[in-house]
C-alpha cells in the first residue's frame, strides 16, 4: 500500500514538473527574443551614442565637453544632484522610520503622497512650480518684492528635481525597515541606549543596503531629469541649462558632435551607476548567503551539543 502511494505521488510530482517546464525550443526562443530586444533597443543605441561622440576625433570630443556652456551645464547638474540627494536621504529616512515603526492615522495617505511623483508627469510637476512661484504665480508678487528668484533660476531646478526624486530613498527603505521589525531597537533601548544611539548603531546598519541603493537611484534620476527641469529652467544657456537640456540645445543648433559628447558623459554616468548597483547587489546577496550558512551551521551543531550536555 505504501509503495503504491509513493508511486502515485512520484508520478503526480513528475507530471506537475512536466506541466511547468517548457520545451527546449520554446525556452531558447524566449531567450533569443529577449536578447534581440536588448540588442536593438538598448545596446545599439548606446554604442551609437559613443560612436557619434567620437566620430570627429578625440580633440573635438574634449573641446565639446570643455566648452564654457557645456562645462557650466556639467557643474550645474552636479550641484543640483549634490543638493537634491542629501535632502532626499533625510526625507527618506524620516518617512521610512515613521511609516515602518509607528501606527497612526493618515499613514495610507502619507504613503500615497510619497508615490505621487511616480504618477504625475514631470512636465506637470514643473508647471505646478511655475504656477506657484512664477512672476504671475501665487507667491510671485511677494517673491519679486523681496528680490527672490526661483523660476528660471537654480532654486527652481532644485525644487523640481527634489519633487521627482524624493520617492526613491523612502520606497527603498520602507520594506527593509518593515522586514527588520522593532525587536533590535527595543532591545537597545532596554539596555540603556537613547534614541539617537539606537538609530545610528542599530537601525542604520540594518538598512544600509537599502539606503545606498535608494541613493544611487535618486542620484541617477537627479542627473538625468529633463521634463520638470525644462519647464522651470528657462533654457538659459550657461546659467540654467543642465546636461540633458544642453544635449537638446546642441542638437537643435546642428552641433551633433557636441550633443553626443555631452550625451556620452551622461551615458557613462549611467553605466557607472549600473555597475555600482550591480556590485552592491552582489555584496548584499553574498552577505545573505554567508548569514544563511552560519545559521545552518549553528543549527547543525545543536543536536550534537544537546547530546553532549545530556551525557
Residue 6 has pLDDT above 50, yes or no: no
Same domain? For 45 and 150 the reply is: no
Residue 307 has pLDDT above 50, yes or no: no
User: What is the number of structural domains in the chain?
Assistant: 2
Cβ pair 95, 110 in contact under 8 A: yes
Residue 18 has pLDDT above 60, yes or no: no
Same domain? For 74 and 117 the reply is: yes
- Write the CATH number for 75: 1.10.3720.10
CA–CA dist 199, 206 (Å, integer): 10
Residue 62 within any structural domain of the chain: yes
When pLDDT is averaged across residues 108-130 and rounded to a whole number, the result is: 91
- Whole-number pLDDT of residue 31: 92
CA distances from 81 to 74, 90, 130, 155 (A): 11, 14, 21, 12
Q: How far apart are the first and last CA of the chain?
A: 41
Same domain? For 157 and 227 the reply is: yes
When pLDDT is averaged across residues 65-74 and rounded to a whole number, the result is: 93
Same domain? For 137 and 213 the reply is: yes
Same domain? For 30 and 172 the reply is: no
CA–CA dist 52, 85 (Å, integer): 31
pTM of the model: 0.80
Same domain? For 158 and 83 the reply is: yes
Same domain? For 142 and 116 the reply is: yes
DSSP calls for 4-26: HHHHHHHHHHHHHHHHHPPPHHH
Note the helical H segments in 134-207: 140-145, 154-165, 167-180, 183-190, 195-198, 204-206
Same domain? For 107 and 208 the reply is: yes
Residue 266 within any structural domain of the chain: yes
Cβ pair 242, 80 in contact under 8 A: yes
Residue 80 within any structural domain of the chain: yes
- Whole-number pLDDT of residue 21: 65
Same domain? For 116 and 242 the reply is: yes
Domain coverage including residue 39: 1-53
Output the average pLDDT for the chain: 85
Residue 215 within any structural domain of the chain: yes
Same domain? For 89 and 168 the reply is: yes
CB-count exposure of residue 155 (10 Å: 0-12, 13-18, 19+):
middle
When pLDDT is averaged across residues 242-255 and rounded to a whole number, the result is: 92
Same domain? For 35 and 176 the reply is: no
Residue 42 within any structural domain of the chain: yes
CA–CA dist 99, 91 (Å, integer): 12
Residue 100 within any structural domain of the chain: yes
Same domain? For 192 and 105 the reply is: yes
Residue 205 within any structural domain of the chain: yes
When pLDDT is averaged across residues 177-205 and rounded to a whole number, the result is: 82
Which of 36, 53, 70 terminates a domain? The answer is 53
Amino acid at each position: 500500500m505504501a509503495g503504491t502511494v509513493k508511486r502515485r505521488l512520484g508520478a503526480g510530482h513528475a507530471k506537475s514538473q512536466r506541466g511547468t517546464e517548457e520545451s527546449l525550443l520554446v525556452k531558447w526562443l524566449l531567450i533569443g527574443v529577449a536578447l534581440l530586444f536588448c540588442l536593438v533597443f538598448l545596446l545599439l543605441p548606446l554604442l551609437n551614442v559613443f560612436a557619434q561622440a567620437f566620430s570627429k576625433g578625440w580633440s573635438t570630443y574634449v573641446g565639446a565637453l570643455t566648452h564654457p556652456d557645456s562645462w557650466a551645464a556639467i557643474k550645474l547638474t552636479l550641484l543640483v544632484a549634490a543638493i537634491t540627494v542629501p535632502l532626499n536621504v533625510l526625507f527618506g529616512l524620516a518617512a521610512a522610520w515613521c511609516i515602518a515603526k509607528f501606527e497612526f492615522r493618515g499613514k495610507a495617505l502619507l504613503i500615497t503622497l510619497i508615490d505621487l511623483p511616480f504618477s504625475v508627469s514631470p512636465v506637470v510637476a514643473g508647471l505646478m512650480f511655475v504656477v506657484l512661484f512664477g512672476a504671475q504665480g501665487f507667491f510671485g508678487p511677494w517673491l519679486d518684492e523681496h528680490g527672490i528668484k526661483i523660476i528660471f533660476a537654480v532654486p527652481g531646478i532644485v525644487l523640481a528635481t527634489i519633487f521627482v526624486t524624493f520617492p526613491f530613498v523612502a520606497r527603498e527603505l520602507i520594506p527593509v525597515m518593515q522586514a527588520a521589525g522593532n525587536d533590535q531597537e527595543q532591545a537597545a533601548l532596554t539596555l540603556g541606549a537613547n534614541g539617537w544611539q539606537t538609530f545610528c548603531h542599530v537601525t542604520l546598519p540594518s538598512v544600509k543596503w537599502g539606503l545606498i541603493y535608494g541613493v544611487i537611484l535618486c542620484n541617477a534620476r537627479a542627473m538625468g531629469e529633463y521634463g520638470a527641469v525644462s519647464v522651470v529652467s528657462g533654457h538659459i544657456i550657461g546659467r540654467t541649462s543642465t546636461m540633458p537640456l544642453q544635449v537638446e540645445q546642441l542638437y537643435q543648433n546642428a552641433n551633433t558632435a557636441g550633443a553626443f559628447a555631452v550625451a556620452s558623459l551622461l551615458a557613462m554616468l549611467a553605466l557607472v551607476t549600473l555597475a555600482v548597483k550591480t556590485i552592491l547587489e552582489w555584496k548584499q546577496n553574498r552577505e545573505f548567503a554567508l548569514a544563511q550558512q552560519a545559521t545552518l551551521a549553528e543549527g547543525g551543531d545543536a543536536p550534537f551539543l544537546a547530546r553532549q550536555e545530556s551525557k
